[in-house]
Structure 1
Amino acid sequence: MNDTALADALLRALEDHVLPLTRKGVAQGNKIFGAALLRKSDGSTVLAETNNETENPLWHGEVHLLKRYREVPDLPPPEELIFLSTHEPCSMCLSAITWAGFDNFFDFFTHEDSRDSFAIPHDLKILKEVFTLNPGGYRRENAYWKARSVAEVIADADPDQQAALKARADAIRAEYDALSGAYQDGKAANDIPLR
């Protein structure tokens, strides 16, 4: 797929698969993080999940997706899949993606967005406290995987398609802003360790 088709597929996965699950998850007291697996061949969504920390604090969107991926039979192997994360993965999720054998991931929001726009600073705090890394301090291209942001893919798409792709991305951002407000309003009622 070229970057125009890839951007469309990534946005479609968020719009049609991840966001509906995230709406339900936030209503149950979970954070706004989600993830999806797409086929590299055609961009179709294979599986999507959202954060389920109210069941288990380890079920971040990415880890919960990987759990479900191992439970569902006959899914394509990791080397045939694109890993999409709504937010730049935390250190646990980065490790889980690596251990699960994926050679890529794409993120929609950055760690700084999680901290600044969504008032969930834990990813950056853990990277700094445990690994002494500043924001962006890990290598987004390494021996295991290559990471790209959805914004980067949109910027590399056909210039004639960029305005429409950016409008879709803005609509997704607006929905996440609303979901973040709902999560922040209700988070005191749950017992997630790092709220």
Structure 2
Amino acid sequence: MKTHANQTPQNGSKANGHAVVNTENRSEATFQFEDNRPETAVQRKLKESINENKVAQRYPYIGSTHPERKDAQIYGIFEMNNGVLGDCIYVGQTTDVRAGDRFVEHVQNDNWAPWFDNGVNDYRSNNDGDWPYVPRELEGLKDVTKFEVTAAEQWWIDHKGGKDNLQNRVNALTRVAFDFYKNINGNYDHTNIGVNANWHPLN
């Protein structure tokens, strides 16, 4: 069984995505009873978290059938200092079939990030020592759901000091979303990602 105790970066590349949150308009009733049932309180907290953009960047599949399972990868973007691997400054996720492509997307699309290719950095070179930033696999995951991958990504974000210590602009998964989705129809088994049964996102 995998554990996160002795994970070290390896060569590789890797992922991220964004969810679209649907909001609905509600008309105010003149008189309403307040519903304080526990499940309603959880759903209310989840909705508040979504509205504050603090929930997962990508949503797990929660349909009536078992969620799709794939091999996946958690990766980091690291600084290079004179050809020496430096600090991890970003944590992301991707499927194995996209490994190697995701970092190129970051370089081309993340105009807010220090690794953005504005024509100065040559990421086409095969020599990592020529690059100011490089991707490295942090962990390979086998036969996991999207939710499990997102939970593993959040474990790594927390392990690397949290999003405020990284270039990640949002958490992959909040505690509220984790508590809501983890019990849904085969979404989550902590042993699939090597975390303790009591683990949860820090925020």
Task: Give TM-score, length-normalised by structure 1.
Answer: 0.27
More helix by share: 1
Instruction: Considering Cα pairs closer than 8 Å and 6+ residues apart, tell me whether 1 or 2 has the greater RCO.
Output: 2
